[in-house]
Amino acid sequence: MSGSNSSTSAGLVAAVDLGATSGRVMLGRIGPNTLDLRQVARFPNGPIQHDDGLHWDVTGLYANITAGLTAALRDEPSIRSIGVDSWAVDYGLLQDGKLLGEPFHYRDERNLAGVEAVHGVVPFEELYRINGLQFLPFNTLYQLTVDRVGGRLASGETPLLIPDLINYWLTGGLHTERTNASTTGLLNVTTQEWDAALTARLGLPESLFPALVDAGTTIGGLTRTVAETLGADKGVTVTTVGSHDTASAVVGVPARTDDFAYISCGTWGLVGVELERPVLSDASRLANFTNEGGVDGRTRYLHNVMGLWLLSESVRTWEAAGTTIELPALLAEAGRITTAVPVFDANDPRFLAPGDLPQRIADWCGEHGVAAPQTQAEFVRSILESLSQAFARAVDTAAELSGKTVSVIHMVGGGSQNALLCQLTANRSGREVIAGPVEATAIGNVLIQGRAQGLLSGSLESLRDLVARSFEQAHYLPR
């Protein structure tokens, strides 16, 4: 991926960007008028089934990360900084610096017991006033409560969110970056500090939680062992970025006005607006909107929509049954459908767990008295119509509850490559959709590192202007 022309004042950083289905190491060249991105390594990621449930292979993930960073440093020895972002809420437990087993996956069914235990102590209505988060059954506070009840939180253990765990292995330092901490449910939405009263009520010792740091903090150099493994010199540092991948993606939105909504569309569709302060009204809670921390103290006011997981898991189901799927051809066929297809509730919890999603979609249709899709192309069209409706409704609700005017929607991430989804979203929202860049998360990661390294300066607005100048976007007008 290329961006604007190189500048003599530009420098190099490496972005480790971890998604729920794949990870990548990106090399970023950045300066006041320079923003170039190049993929050095890409590797798969996904759940692994153990006897006790669904986990992440974070040890294997780290091996792929170090291999990617080694390749990046071999290509460009002058890399100044490394920054890590990933999905939210999941964590590894450390004891005496050692990982106690692979982290649980947020789609594991164990979390339901945590929901009941937490809400029995702190009702959700009160919880929302404290942390400002929408209800998601896998938020970190529910997972930690399951661990506490199950005796997995012994004295001296430390939970580290995935990017903080990677940073710990790179530097030996224990920190939690705020944008990701804001997704745990244990950060006070007003103070942006760990809420000691809440953790005490939940029986979670305050000593569990590492010190909080902001995005753009240089947390240290590589350990000697890591530096030798990567072939790095002692000048390479690790910098915190918006370590929740959506926080980095929002930095990478190429907005040139402030009247925008964003859809960071990948496995999940994160749909919302950027605000200066949280919205904690009853209407916001009932609409299940969340107030997550953004870079530079902004609030990411958004709603989680199931996202392209619906499509990827359907494709996986068909392929497991022996069908070879050519997704571009299938999307083209879906785009040619002129008859009505069912529009289902993309946020129905039945679609969260892995499994036969086409059958679950058909079941939803049967329960609601509508004809289910019959062909694979009809299922794909139904999924995209349903996602576009969920996106449009979330944008309308975000604007209404926050009072923010929304004239344009920026779609970034993998979903921005799906022309049919972008056009359907424009149609259903009645707003222009500007699609791209695909790698907005890695771009946001690189931008915050670059600013911390003194390679460029300015507000988020100036960083976004650089993105707009550096990468092409596609425009979709409502039809």
Q: Are residues 231 and 305 in the same domain?
A: no
Whether 414 is in a domain gets the answer yes
pLDDT for 403 equals 98
Q: Are residues 350 and 398 in the same domain?
A: yes
Q: Is 83 exposed, middle or buried (0-12, 13-18, 19+ CB in 10 A)?
A: buried
Whether 461 is in a domain gets the answer no
- Name the 3-class secondary structure at 56: strand
pLDDT for 157 equals 87
Say whether 259 is catalytic: no
pLDDT for 12 equals 98
Whether 248 is in a domain gets the answer no
CATH number assigned to the domain comprising residue 313? 3.30.420.40
Q: Are residues 281 and 362 in the same domain?
A: yes
- Residue 140 zone, left/alpha/beta (φ > 0; ψ -120 to 50; rest): alpha
Which is catalytic among the residues 51, 245, 258, 356?
245
Q: Are residues 283 and 140 in the same domain?
A: no
pLDDT for 3 equals 59
Q: Are residues 338 and 276 in the same domain?
A: yes
Q: Are residues 379 and 431 in the same domain?
A: yes
Asked if residue 298 lies in contact with residue 404, where contact means CB atoms within 8 angstroms, the answer is no
Q: 0.95 exceeded by the pTM?
A: no
Q: Are residues 222 and 259 in the same domain?
A: no
**Residue where a domain stops, chosen among 239, 270, 291:** 239
Domains contained in the chain, number = 2
pLDDT for 416 equals 97
Whether 450 is in a domain gets the answer no
d(CA 42, CA 69): 11
Q: Are residues 66 and 203 in the same domain?
A: yes
pLDDT for 20 equals 86
Q: Are residues 380 and 259 in the same domain?
A: yes
Q: Give the model confidence (pLDDT) of 245-275 as tens digits.
A: 999 999 999 999 999 999 999 989 999 999 9
pLDDT for 155 equals 65
What residues of the chain score a pLDDT lower than 50?
5-8
pLDDT for 360 equals 98
pLDDT for 418 equals 97
At residue 383's C-alpha, the angle toward residues 380 and 386, to 5°, is: 150
pLDDT for 1 equals 54
Domain of residue 338 covers: 255-436
Q: Are residues 392 and 286 in the same domain?
A: yes
Asked if residue 318 lies in contact with residue 376, where contact means CB atoms within 8 angstroms, the answer is yes
Whether 33 is in a domain gets the answer yes
pLDDT for 319 equals 97
Q: Give the model confidence (pLDDT) of 379-438 as tens digits.
A: 999 999 999 999 999 999 999 999 999 999 999 999 999 999 999 999 999 999 999 999
* Termini Cα distance of the chain: 31
Whether 267 is in a domain gets the answer yes
